[in-house]
Amino acid sequence: MAGKLHNIANVLYETAGEIDLQSYKTGRGACKMPKMIIAVAMFVWVLSGCGLNSGSNTTGNPTANDVLSTNPDANIFMYQDIIYSAGINWVDELTLTKDKEITEVKEQRKDGKEFRNGTANKLKAGTKIFSAKERNDIIIAETADGEVRFYSLIEG
């Protein structure tokens, strides 16, 4: 066995007769460099894998298209580049007071790709939108059927 290792080492490093078996076993001398190269290469390989992104994780706030693709029945409104969604139970249970009128629905669209500020998919054009005195992440629409509360869909 020792003779085979010695022959393999000599062939790999093209140094017939220059490598002794003890240096090969202990990783010293001429055999130290290849082990170091392999260790560094593996380290670089591991680090390069840490920086890869599969693309499945997205960052940023959801778009109207994202929301409607997931839930076609969602009641949404876009204000200041943020999508607000109605029908969230805990939001509907809060005690809130309408504050100032901040905008109104400009248009109604069913296609999430066509949303821009002032667009809603269920609220009618002209519906007035108010801020909530108690919370900055909730807005209130005043409709003929009563108030509808919308919660901002903000990532993070």
Per-residue pLDDT tens digits for 126-143: 999 999 999 999 999 999
For residue 1, pLDDT over 80 is answered with no
- Residue 54 within a domain: no
pLDDT band for 37, please (50, 70, 90 cuts): confident
Residue 120 shares a structural domain with residue 83: yes
Residue 73 shares a structural domain with residue 141: yes
Residue 26 shares a structural domain with residue 92: no
Residue 68 shares a structural domain with residue 45: no
For residue 7, pLDDT over 90 is answered with no
Residue 75 shares a structural domain with residue 145: yes
- Residue 59 within a domain: no
- Residue 58 within a domain: no
- Residue 18 within a domain: yes
Work out the average pLDDT over 101-111: 97
**Which residues form the domain of 29?**
2-49
For residue 102, pLDDT over 90 is answered with yes
Report pLDDT digits (tens) over 84-97: 999 999 999 999 99
- Residue 41 within a domain: yes
Residue 23 shares a structural domain with residue 86: no
Residue 45 shares a structural domain with residue 92: no
- Residue 130 within a domain: yes
pLDDT value at residue 8: 57
Q: Is 18 in contact with 30 (CB distance < 8 Å)?
A: yes
Residue 148 shares a structural domain with residue 88: yes
The residue among 131 and 26 whose pLDDT is bigger is 131
Total number of domains in the chain: 2
Residue 84 shares a structural domain with residue 110: yes
For residue 22, pLDDT over 70 is answered with no
Residue 39 shares a structural domain with residue 92: no
Work out the average pLDDT over 19-45: 68
The residue among 138 and 26 whose pLDDT is bigger is 138
Residue 68 shares a structural domain with residue 41: no
pLDDT value at residue 155: 86
- Residue 31 within a domain: yes
Residue 44 shares a structural domain with residue 68: no
pLDDT value at residue 76: 98
- Burial letters 129-153, b for 16+ CB under 10 A, else e: bbbbeeeeebbbbbeeeeebbbbbb
